[in-house]
Amino acid sequence: MQYIRNVERIERLVDKQNRWRNETINLIASENAMSKRAREIMGSDFCHRYAEGHPGERYYQGTELIDEIEARIKQHLKSLFNCKHIDVRPISGTIANDAVFSRFIDCNDIVIVNSTSGGGHISHHKHGSVGKYTSNIINFPLTEDGYHIDVKETINLLDKIPVKVMIMGKSLYLFPDPVKELAPVCNELGIALIYDAAHVLGLIAGKVLRDPLKDGAHILNASTHKTFFGSQRGVICSNMSNSDWAKIDKGAFPASSSNHHLDTLVALAISSYEFIVHGESYARQVIKNARALAKSLEKRGFKVEAKEFNYTETHQIAVDVSELGGGDEVSRVLNDNNIILNMNLLPHDPLDKVTNPSGIRIGVQEMTRFGMKEKEMDIIADLMKRCIMDGKYIGNEVIDFRKKYQIVHYSFDHDYLELVNGKEGIKTLSDIIEKA
């Protein structure tokens, strides 16, 4: 009976999570929400199964159906991402990174990355994936504002130091890195240019950011659950030669994974078709919302970063809250009021401030998917102001506000809702899915 009670406790916690997060304003920049249709397909028989290798070339029998699904998703994602090669087997963005880094970085190679305080992801650093292969990691020079790579200084650095691999992309990512400007230098010097698009994959596919592969990146890695609103997995894309791609193929399997979690692959297929249909309009609204929220916060007295550059070109904004208690304190208070975001180092923070940095990082991609637009961003800014600056408890107001935004937009769920709007018998999201 003890174990039955434990199971029931787990079930109650899961139910509590489901209910609570549907009552919150989620501004975590690395998360998104899948449609109900995509979520419900997870947990199928595929969650029990293995499919090592490529479609049609498996090491197991019984894979004919997943072969068709995987082949279809690869075909359509190649078209969406404008690439010759794609691997959808990595089970996360970091695993995709490792699959590539393991093929291109040897012991003692010099790798240039974005610094941690400059927004670089932990997998690019000594305690992450890159650090497993080399300790020779240097940082891009940044412009004075701290949010852009200094192209001229980077070229000067590359002329002096024999860099083997250049890794672009960030975790705090307001502005795209200068692929087009630095790719010719990388080609001339034989530097592999890898672009980690984990945060901005949906913005690239949605054509609001430039395509790094088209601009000269050799490889694009990404996770599939941030601005690209799929299940939590990773992808690797490239237009390199077949022989060079073969190295990455082996990096994905068997070097970094065996079975590749087929239930989430199927959900990614559903989400990818939704993105093919809705991705461009979604990406445009994400950018509008990010800038609207930045302006609304600025208007209410928050120190929003990069104002001189119109705040952002992505789903993210950064806010200096050092005078309001620091990133740790502000994020905790907001969490207690049902607004979820994370503390973050800002470019000029020393690394010893990592436990309470100057900044908070905000992402609007999930709330955009729940149908919020510019006017809702202004409401969110006002709630944050009254919570942090006025010291008021606004948690119940957040819950009431969020009740209006429960349907996942830019999805087949919402398409069907619009078709049947006002028809008898359609009352809840479950009704919509049952009648689809």
Q: What is the pLDDT of residues 277-314, one digit of tens each?
A: 999 999 999 999 999 999 999 999 999 999 999 999 99
Instruction: Return d(Cα 76, Cα 81) in angstroms, integer.
Output: 9
pLDDT at residue 436, rounded to an integer = 42
Write the DSSP symbol of residue 158: H
Sheet containing 136-139: order of strands? 85-87, 234-238, 219-223, 192-196, 163-168, 110-113, 136-139
Instruction: Return d(Cα 59, Cα 55) in angstroms, integer.
Output: 10
- Which band of pLDDT confidence, cut at 50, 70 and 90, is reported for residue 430? low
Token readout for 205 is 């596919």
pLDDT tens for each residue of 208-228: 999 999 999 999 999 999 999
Half-sphere exposure of 119 (CA within 13 A, CB side): 28
Instruction: Return d(Cα 328, Cα 76) in angstroms, integer.
Output: 41
Above 70 in pLDDT, residue 432?
no
pLDDT at residue 245, rounded to an integer = 95
Q: What's the length of the chain? A: 436
Average pLDDT rounded to a whole number, residues 337-360: 93
304 forms beta bridges with 319
Instruction: Return d(Cα 249, Cα 244) in angstroms, integer.
Output: 9
Token readout for 45 is 């028989």
- What CATH number is given for 283-415 in this structure? 3.90.1150.10
pLDDT at residue 423, rounded to an integer = 55
- Who has greater pLDDT, 401 or 255? 401
Angle at 411 between CA 225 and CA 80, to 5 degrees: 60
Average pLDDT rounded to a whole number, residues 186-204: 98
Neighbours of 196 (CB within 10 A): 32
Domain boundaries, the chain: 39-271, 283-415
pLDDT at residue 215, rounded to an integer = 98
> Domain 39-271, CATH 3.40.640.10 — does that match?
yes
In sequence order, the 6+-apart residues with CB closer than 8 A to the CB of 400 are: none
Write the DSSP symbol of residue 142: B
- DSSP assignment of 299-320 equals HTT-EETTGGGTS-SSSEEEEE
Average pLDDT rounded to a whole number, residues 58-62: 92
pLDDT tens for each residue of 98-112: 999 999 999 999 999
Instruction: Return d(Cα 129, Cα 107) in angstroms, integer.
Output: 13
Whole-model pTM: value is 0.93
Q: What is the amino acid identity at position 174?
A: L
- Which parts of 337-373 fold into alpha helices (H)? 365-369
pLDDT at residue 358, rounded to an integer = 96
Instruction: Return d(Cα 178, Cα 153) in angstroms, integer.
Output: 13
Above 80 in pLDDT, residue 425?
no
Do residues 328 and 292 make contact, with C-beta atoms less than 8 angstroms apart? no
- DSSP assignment of 166-222 equals EEE--SS-SS---HHHHHHHHHHHT-EEEEE-TTTHHHHHTTSS--HHHHT-SEEEE
Pairing of strands 342-344, 359-363: antiparallel
Instruction: Return d(Cα 203, Cα 96) in angstroms, integer.
Output: 19
